[in-house]
Amino acid sequence: MRRFFGFLVTVGALALAGLVGFSLVHSWLNPEPLTIENVDGRPVITATQPALTPF
């Protein structure tokens, strides 16, 4: 029973790490622009992550 519980914890940790890794890779490949707006909706700061240039 103890080995089975350890197996479940290991599988859960690997699944969580996989989801976090997928999320990080997805956000790195498809960055969303960062916009900080004023009270009236005008952008104060706009920026995007640097894009990798293909060779």
3-state secondary structure of 35: strand
Q: Could you tell me if 14 and 26 are in contact, meaning their C-beta atoms sit under 8 angstroms apart?
A: no
pLDDT of 20 reads: 96
pLDDT value at residue 32: 75
Query: In the predicted model, is pLDDT for residue 4 greater than 70?
Result: yes
- Indicate the domain borders of the chain: 2-47
**For 1-18, what is the mean pLDDT?**
96
pLDDT digits (tens, 9 = 90+) for 10-50: 999 999 999 999 999 998 888 777 766 777 767 666 666 66
> What pLDDT does 52 receive?
67
Residue type for 3, please? R
